[in-house]
Structure 1
Amino acid sequence: MDTGIQDKAKQWLSELFDQKTKDEVQHIIDHDPKELEESFYQNLAFGTGGMRGVMGVGTNRINKYTLGKSTQGVSTYLKQQFPNQDIKVAIAFDCRHNSQSLAKVVADVFSANGIKVFLFSDLRPTPELSFAVKYLDCQCGIVLTASHNPPEYNGYKVYWEDGGQLVPPHDQAIINLIESLDYGDIQFRANKDLIEYIDTKVDTAFAEASVANGSFSAANGARENLDIVFTSLHGTSITMIPQVLEKAGFTKVHIVKEQAKPNGDFPTVKSPNPEEPEALKMAIDLAEQKNADIVIGTDPDCDRLGIAVRDTVGNMTLLNGNQTMIVMTWFLLEQWKKASKINGKEFVGSTIVSTPMLKVLTESYGVEYKEGLTGFKWIAKMIHDHPELDFIGGGEESFGYMVGDFVRDKDAVTATLLACEISAWLKAKGSSFYEKLLQLYVEHGLYLEKLISVTKKGIKGAQEIKQMMIDLRENPLKTIDGEKVVLIEDYQSAKAIRPLEDEVIPLEIPTSNVLIYYTEDGTKVAARPSGTEPKIKFYISVNTELDSTNKFDRVSAELSTKVDRIKADLGF
């Protein structure tokens, strides 16, 4: 055992820490050297958007002290940025173990620093927090959540005054402040007069805004004929989505009762992740019983959604995030076009690892397409940086979508309503969500994407992920499935390389540990270590022409075979 780790752990036996914490630290010192190493070998990183990690004692864990230190840093930075102002912060939390108590710790620290706190009285969806920041005229927002991570995780997301998550320069400035602090600098003693609990007033305003942004006259008269199955996967969306659907006029909503109660153990699923087919199994089973048209499931903090719809022969089929956002974006563009609102001053936003088809679709309407790094904070930054443009909508492949800018983060509440609006409208016309997707493939090309996630836990895993990225940079692929690589974008070095021309072009985008290969035939392969999980992710995109919806199954199978060959090329 590294003596430095032991010394670091022993510092947590001082009077700065409560007795329960000291007892737990002493126990792992005495009995669990592996846990001791994992808990103290590093400081849990406050990344560019916040923190996420396993709960427990130690510097590499989510607990009252690591969150307290981060909150102390944020408090100091807020005072620097908003001098002589009455600073206000909104705080929300999800269904995870300890989320409510940790949210109170965070509220205490802010109030101890003289900052007014609006604290939700119970669990709420993350997009409602983004909304509340602007609605309550706050300078900052915090949500305690670990999204779809396993039950032992929790996290801490930071939002700025525009309702979007932290972006440069605020993120690095806060990181520097936090790293300069000691645990003894944390002010834990709350000023109760500065903590105000909030609930129904913000709920009502958010629900009304969601209906206003997610409803369209195209679906008038059709909503009551759509059969919907909804599951909250034991998360926060149960507090908002049913009432929003009801307000919008959807009367046939079947809720998966076994998954309706918030529960941080997520007892009915292996993972509360709507990207995973297994997570929506109970909802799909209920849809078959009810002969429903659409199934929607949301992750625990209700910022992402998974959708299943009927295919051309009536089978319930799961869509991926790219497919969902293609149809959603088409619908929004079509509504803006019908309303004569497209005048060259609009844009759609997405991310560098999402489907290239979104750019093709958007530009076919004469609308500008903007692309940023992974994460909705970059789409929010696009809105902030371009007030002269109207934001129509945007999404990313990881099952997130945002309609308009009343919320500046991915929003499964309004996106759920939008998906139902589209389905109701298409059903009334004798079509469907799935059939429209196939028609868009015929118009713009058939794009097929595949995500490969490789999990590497712990110290060794982090080293392996780092080495994989080094190898990809130092020994770049020259061909992929026999196609010549014509462009390599390295977002870490901010350079794009054209290997055939021996040309280097600067990338005008913030740096990030992402590497993307493009081939001569339009294949795209991206590699990116996850910023919130012990994973490295590979994103594969292939495409070809589709001249008829009747040929979709055959051409899609051919593209799937091509993806399998690419996976083999990559060693999977």
Structure 2
Amino acid sequence: MGNLDKETQSRINQWLTNEYDLATVAEVQQLVDNNEETELLDSFYKELEFGTGGLRGIMGVGSNRMNKYTIGKATQGLANYLIKQFPGEDIKVAVSYDSRNNSQAFGNLVADVFSANGIHVYLFKELRPTPVLSFAVRHFHCQGGVMLTASHNPKEYNGYKAYWNDGGQLVAPHDKNVISEVNAIQSVNEIKFDRDERNITLVGEDFDDIYIAANTKLSIHPEAVQAQKDLKIVYSPIHGTGITVVPKILKAWGFEQVTIVDEQAEPNGNFPTVIYPNPEEEEAMAKAKQKGQDIDADVVMATDPDADRVGVAIKTPSGTFQLINGNQIGSLLSYYVLSSKKALGQLKPNDYIVKTIVTSNLFAAIADAHQVKYYETLTGFKYIGEVMTNLLGKENYLVGGEESYGYLVGDLVRDKDAVNSCAFIAEMTAYFKSQGKSLYDVLIELYLKYGFYKEKLISLTKKGKAGADEIKQMMADLRANLPKSLGDIEVVEVRDYQLSETTDMKTGKKSKIDLPKSDVLQFITIDGDVISARPSGTEPKIKFYCSVKEKLSFSTDYGQVSNRLDDKVDVMMADIIKD
């Protein structure tokens, strides 16, 4: 064990004491006895960070893993903060969990700790989606909430999303303050694990009806749904929580021909039919697409394990099904909401939409064309939720989205909502079908009206301590050697969100960025292309985003322009990614 640094060895020694249960100590001891230095290093080289969105990590023993003790510590820290923030109040929290291995046990553990601290817990009896948890925080007038999920990460991961009283994930100053409270806990003996049943209320299936009824009132064109009630919809929950609510909401909306992908209907934390339970991936959507082909569906949808992200496949003129990316889904939804409300005379001067800094500017073009204000936030739907909370009662939120397949229509929750999105994507498909158009047709219309925006995301996975160090070095190298051109196209502006400043590359003039600090670099070319570099906050990845645009004059030019933009993206990305 001589290659382990002193801090890592100290943590290992601590986990071998009687503060920890016998099973945990035995598991750590086995790693030591087997001289598994790499596993020990990755498991103990740091504390699993309670970041600005909570916890996410591989399940297992160790200070850098998701387990009873790291989750207990996070919950105790959050409980301590809630008690300080709401003195003299009867504090309430809502707790839910997804289909991942150990999620239900972790959810009950969180309930144990909160209840032992005198906090009343609304605990879901069975797995439910993240947006339902966000809705529950608001519905029960809770001061906080916790969702046990690692979203679309691989099966070995789990996670812990912490929510504030507005139903949104923690933002400043609460995120940093909770982190301080968590870090202040020096011993597992400070964690109260003894459940107090008097402080726990179980939330049953009937709560789905409340959530669904509230959403159904948001429908914009119920007459189109009625006219197209036989619309052929294929849906897959990819072994996740979506199966509990998405079929119900589609039925409540009025759709009668919903086909579930049976092989992926059963909640299962091993995600047996996919490599990666992420509806962004062709492989994860393959069974749903095939089912769509088999029944000649109008639209194909799939949600990730906690049902806050949705992937969509649409029918092309050749009759095959093609996945569309997150920017395209969000642009279609934004266009549907804004154009429909404009046609109905429902747009108001204080309406607005929201996008993130790495989301397509097609969102902004659609908003501008409808004379609707748009806001831009950092990556992460919690920042969209923060805008909604800050503007509540002053301005009217309509729709928001991010390129990573997360959207929300209406303001019932403060997080991305794939259940709500599935209903609106189905309604949108029905509405345009009533006009004789497919979603493919409408997407081409958008490009003809507003310009052909094309985006690409490249993610590089860098696991463990060595990977984290490599990602940090890649960002440092980019900052030290700012590219003057990408693909022979001049870079005219650099936005460094870590420094909160924009630099004009010609004059050197700097201006302030009025957003919270974040480790993101953006390069703007003379053509208006946007290339972003950003370490993921939830996965061991560094992500590179590229967005380019060209005028599309005729629909017949679609293939040619698309290929040209693809080539441009590839050349620019090759200049910035040095792997």
Name the TM tier (shorter chain). over 0.9
Other-structure match for 2:375: 370
Gaps of 5+ in 1: none
Q: Decide whether the 8 Å contact of 2:225 with 2:255 is kept in 1.
A: no
In 2: Cα distance, 1:308 partner to 1:154 partner: 28
Other-structure match for 1:405: 411
Runs of 4+ more than 6 Å apart = none
Tell me which moved more, 253-262 or 177-186: 177-186
Per-residue displacement from partner, 1:183-213 (whole Å, max 9, x unpaired)?
2211111111101111123211012122222
Q: Within the alignment, does 1:74 sit opposite 2:74 as a pair?
A: no
In 2: Cα distance, 1:66 partner to 1:214 partner: 42
In 2: Cα distance, 1:40 partner to 1:456 partner: 18
Per-residue displacement from partner, 1:412-443 (whole Å, max 9, x unpaired)?
00100101101111112111111001001100
Q: Decide whether the 8 Å contact of 2:377 with 2:384 is kept in 1.
A: yes
Other-structure match for 1:323: 328
Q: Which of 16, 19, 24 is the matching residue for 1:16?
A: 19
Q: Decide whether the 8 Å contact of 1:214 with 1:403 is kept in 2.
A: no
Other-structure match for 1:48: 52
Residue type of the alignment partner of 2:217: A
Other-structure match for 2:222: 217
Q: 1:5: how far off?
A: 1.7
In 1: Cα distance, 2:342 partner to 2:201 partner: 44
Q: Within the alignment, does 1:350 sit opposite 2:355 as a pair?
A: yes
Q: Secondary structure at the match of 2:123?
A: strand
The change in CA–CA distance for 1:258 and 1:215 in structure 2 (over 3 A counts) is farther
In 1: Cα distance, 2:189 partner to 2:577 partner: 48
Paired residues in the alignment total 572
Q: Which of 255, 261, 266 is the matching residue for 1:256?
A: 261
Other-structure match for 2:311: 306
Q: Within the alignment, does 1:381 sit opposite 2:370 as a pair?
A: no
Other-structure match for 2:160: 156
The change in CA–CA distance for 1:132 and 1:571 in structure 2 (over 3 A counts) is closer
In 1: Cα distance, 2:341 partner to 2:390 partner: 22
Listed as ranges, the matches of 1:407-556 within 5 Å are: 407-556=413-562
- TM-score, normalising length: structure 2: 0.97
Q: 1:569: how far off?
A: 1.6
Q: 1:22: how far off?
A: 1.1
Per-residue displacement from partner, 1:192-242 (whole Å, max 9, x unpaired)?
110111112321101212222245235243332311111000000000000
Q: 1:343: how far off?
A: 2.7
Residue type of the alignment partner of 1:440: L
Q: 1:338: how far off?
A: 2.4
In 2: Cα distance, 1:534 partner to 1:482 partner: 31
Q: 1:81: how far off?
A: 0.9
Q: 1:571: how far off?
A: 4.1
Residue type of the alignment partner of 1:323: Q
Other-structure match for 1:86: 90
Q: 1:501: how far off?
A: 1.6
Q: Within the alignment, does 1:565 sit opposite 2:571 as a pair?
A: yes
Q: Decide whether the 8 Å contact of 2:228 with 2:434 is kept in 1.
A: no
Per-residue displacement from partner, 1:525-554 (whole Å, max 9, x unpaired)?
000000000000000000010111121111
Q: Secondary structure at the match of 1:454?
A: strand
Q: Decide whether the 8 Å contact of 2:225 with 2:253 is kept in 1.
A: no
Other-structure match for 1:338: 343
Residue type of the alignment partner of 2:72: G
Other-structure match for 2:193: 188
Q: Decide whether the 8 Å contact of 1:215 with 1:417 is kept in 2.
A: no
Other-structure match for 2:252: 247
In 2: Cα distance, 1:391 partner to 1:271 partner: 33
In 2: Cα distance, 1:2 partner to 1:94 partner: 36
Per-residue displacement from partner, 1:360-385 (whole Å, max 9, x unpaired)?
11111111010000011101111111
Q: Secondary structure at the match of 2:229?
A: helix
Q: Decide whether the 8 Å contact of 1:223 with 1:251 is kept in 2.
A: no
Q: Decide whether the 8 Å contact of 2:221 with 2:431 is kept in 1.
A: no
Q: Within the alignment, does 1:98 sit opposite 2:102 as a pair?
A: yes
Q: Decide whether the 8 Å contact of 1:224 with 1:252 is kept in 2.
A: yes
Other-structure match for 1:7: 10
Q: Secondary structure at the match of 1:225?
A: coil
Gaps of 5+ in 2: none
The change in CA–CA distance for 1:571 and 1:200 in structure 2 (over 3 A counts) is closer
Per-residue displacement from partner, 1:277-335 (whole Å, max 9, x unpaired)?
11110111111111111110100000000000111232211100000111100010022
Residue type of the alignment partner of 2:290: D
In 2: Cα distance, 1:378 partner to 1:281 partner: 32
Q: 1:570: how far off?
A: 2.2
Q: Secondary structure at the match of 1:221?
A: helix
Q: Secondary structure at the match of 1:295?
A: strand
Q: Decide whether the 8 Å contact of 1:210 with 1:413 is kept in 2.
A: no
Q: Within the alignment, does 1:176 sit opposite 2:164 as a pair?
A: no
Q: 1:16: how far off?
A: 1.7
Q: Decide whether the 8 Å contact of 1:452 with 1:539 is kept in 2.
A: yes
In 1: Cα distance, 2:211 partner to 2:171 partner: 24
Per-residue displacement from partner, 1:57-103 (whole Å, max 9, x unpaired)?
11000011101111111001101111110000000000001111111
Q: Secondary structure at the match of 1:465?
A: helix
In 1: Cα distance, 2:191 partner to 2:45 partner: 22
Residue type of the alignment partner of 1:6: Q
Q: Decide whether the 8 Å contact of 1:215 with 1:248 is kept in 2.
A: no
Q: 1:567: how far off?
A: 2.2
Other-structure match for 2:398: 392
Per-residue displacement from partner, 1:119-174 (whole Å, max 9, x unpaired)?
00010011000000001111101000001111110000011111111000000000
In 2: Cα distance, 1:431 partner to 1:541 partner: 27
Q: Decide whether the 8 Å contact of 1:225 with 1:424 is kept in 2.
A: no
Other-structure match for 1:57: 61
Q: Decide whether the 8 Å contact of 2:93 with 2:144 is kept in 1.
A: yes
Tell me which moved more, 54-63 or 202-211: 202-211
Q: Decide whether the 8 Å contact of 1:6 with 1:29 is kept in 2.
A: no
